[in-house]
A = this chain, B = another copy of it.
């Protein structure tokens, strides 16, 4: 048992956390990575069980200027949970309680370590759900979802994490317990600190309790599949769909490459001449649903539509989603390496984004596959390459930088729901003007005067 941490800190934390203080190499290794496939060994891992322990931990680390990296289940894709400067990883896996569910207030109070999927299961009997639904929902935590402002397909209708939080209790980098917001759906009492914490990737404070805004579960849902001749026809349909009153509960886009993969590798029954595909879903009361589907069908129709299918039964809907979910693994058949970024642009600029990405793909000679949450203009741009090939790696990185430049030039930004972490940190100055970035740094200093919380993430050095 060994740790490079100061021995007094090690002793104090052993006293404080007991079996919740891990310093064995093998144990530390389990907390060294996230889904970005980056890896850096923490000096220790803390598994607090109470807010009081979190406060004591932060104060002790602050006294020694030791970095603290908050961690849910490490499903994020940006390196935000990797302790690149060593220090202590704080895993919230033992603070995973659902403290309260109040259906009349449409509110749940939870600890940060609860899994998104477990929360949904607990809410369902009350006829409620929490809208954020990242692909990782079954095994990602609410705290992690809040840290990177996770979204998912449903965000087009129900918003992302930031839109679905009422109040947060958190411990700042100064070791102070702060209470941000109130568990009410309206509030105009001072500065809105809770939405500021959402998406801050553990760089401002550690969330120890969250009051979440819940939404009544729709009783039914129905999906449409619309195939278009080309991307711009599909993108124009997205704009029409978003300009009419029935907001779809999902509005997913696949480019021609993604359709081909879903067909050839994912086994979906899809035509060979699809230039782009939209998966459109409506949810609500069973009585109203046919009417909503009709409105969405009308909006989906237009120049360039090749086929429009109503996946009226659950089996057809499930097949469609299975094809969508098979995309990520199917990508690996194109190349062993993937850079997956989630740029976002105004919906009307999607055609220019996809056209520009295809041009960049031709120029660099590497496949790029686009799919994602069209209703939010939030596309997952997957650039495939061989990491063992140094030349390809260099071209891949240079091309992704151009994808960011393109998204920004279209009035968009670097990330819709994944966050910045390490992966996009150095691109922040392209997306955020110098005075705005300077202000973000000052806000960081106000919350975390010694810079111990997740150093090196989100803000460029």
A79 within 8 A of B: no
- A388 to chain B minimum Cβ distance, whole angstroms, is 31
Q: Are A104's CB and B240's CB within 8 A?
A: yes
Residues of B contacting A436 in the complex (Cβ-Cβ under 8 angstroms): 178-180, 193
Q: Is A354 an interface residue (CB 8 A)?
A: no
B435 touches A186 (CB 8 A): no
Which range contains the number of A residues in contact with the other chain? 35 or more
Return the chain B residue nearest A417 by Cβ. B188
Q: When the two chains form the complex, which single residue of B190, B195, B244 contacts A432, counting CB atoms closer than 8 Å?
A: B190
Q: Which A185-218 residues sit within 8 Å CB-CB of chain B?
A: 185-193, 195-196, 198-200, 204, 216-218
CB distance from A231 to the nearest CB of B (A): 15
Would you call A81 an interface residue if the criterion is a C-beta within 8 Å of the partner chain's C-beta atoms? no
Q: A458: shortest Cβ distance to chain B, in Å?
A: 6
Whether the pair A188, B439 counts as a contact (CB closer than 8 A) is no
A132 CB to closest chain B CB (Å) equals 11
A419 to B190, CA, bound (A): 8
Q: Which of A1-9, A26-34, A370-378, A395-403 is the contact stretch?
A: A370-378
A357-370 vs B, Cβ < 8 Å mask (1 yes, 0 no): 00000000000000
State in angstroms the CA–CA spacing of A348 and B291 once bound together.
33
* Residues of chain B contacted by A295 (CB below 8 angstroms): 285
- Shortest C-beta distance, A311 to chain B (Å), equals 21
**A186 to B127, alpha carbons, bound, how many Å?**
26
A428 within 8 A of B: yes
A189 and B105 contacting across the interface, CB-CB below 8 Å: no
Measured between beta carbons, the chain B residues less than 8 angstroms from A458 are 190
A440 lies within 8 A of chain B by Cβ: yes
Q: How many Å lie between the Cα of A443 and that of B442 in the bound state? A: 8
Does residue A344 face the partner (Cβ distance < 8 Å to B)? Answer: yes
Cβ of A260 within 8 Å of any chain B Cβ, yes or no, is: no
B residues less than 8 Å from A412 (CB atoms): 182, 184
Q: Is A102 an interface residue (CB 8 A)?
A: yes
Tell whether A186 pairs with B240 under 8 Å between CB atoms, given A105-B348, A245-B284, A291-B288.
no
Whole-angstrom distance between the Cβ of A148 and the nearest chain B Cβ: 6
Chain B residues near A411 (CB, 8 Å)?
182-184
Cβ–Cβ < 8 Å partners of A198 in chain B: 192
Q: Which residue of B lies closest to A344 (CB)?
A: B184
Any B CB within 8 A of the CB of A172: yes
- Whether A447 is near chain B, meaning CB under 8 Å from some CB there, is yes
> Does A155 count as interface, using CB distance less than 8 angstroms?
yes
Output the least CB separation between A177 and chain B (Å). 6
Instruction: Report the nearest B residue to A205, measured CB to CB.
Output: B439
Whole-angstrom distance between the Cβ of A422 and the nearest chain B Cβ: 14
Query: A119 at interface (Cβ–Cβ under 8 A)?
Result: no
Check A346/B184 contact, CB under 8 A, given A179-B433, A443-B446: yes
Of the residues B178, B189, B446, contact of A433 by C-beta under 8 Å: B178
Task: Determine how close the nearest CB of chain B comes to the CB of A439; give it in whole angstroms.
Answer: 6
CA–CA, A417 to B188, complex, Å? 5
A440 in complex: contacting residue of B148, B186, B190, B377, CB < 8 Å:
B190
A216 and B243 contact, Cβ closer than 8 Å, known pairs A105-B348, A177-B435, A291-B287 = yes
A190 x B151 contact (CB < 8 A)? no
Is A431 touching B189 in the complex (CB atoms < 8 A)? yes
Taking A105-B346, A186-B378 as contacts, is the C-beta distance between A191 and B443 under 8 angstroms? yes
Q: How far is the CB of A313 from chain B (nearest CB, A)?
A: 22
On whether the beta carbons of B189 and A420 are closer than 8 Å, the reply is: yes
Complex Cα gap A306–B431 (Å): 58
Is A414 part of the contact surface with B, judged by Cβ < 8 Å?
A: yes
Given contacts A186-B155, A346-B184, A443-B443, contact A245 B191 (CB under 8 A): no
* 5 sampled A-B residue pairs with Cβ under 8 A: A104-B347, A127-B243, A160-B188, A180-B436, A216-B247
* Residues of chain A at the chain B interface (Cβ within 8 Å): 102-107, 126-128, 148-149, 151, 155-156, 160, 162-163, 172, 176-180, 182-193, 195-196, 198-200, 204, 216-219, 238-240, 242-247, 284-285, 287-288, 291-292, 295, 344-348, 373, 375-378, 411-420, 424, 428, 431-433, 435-440, 442-447, 458-459
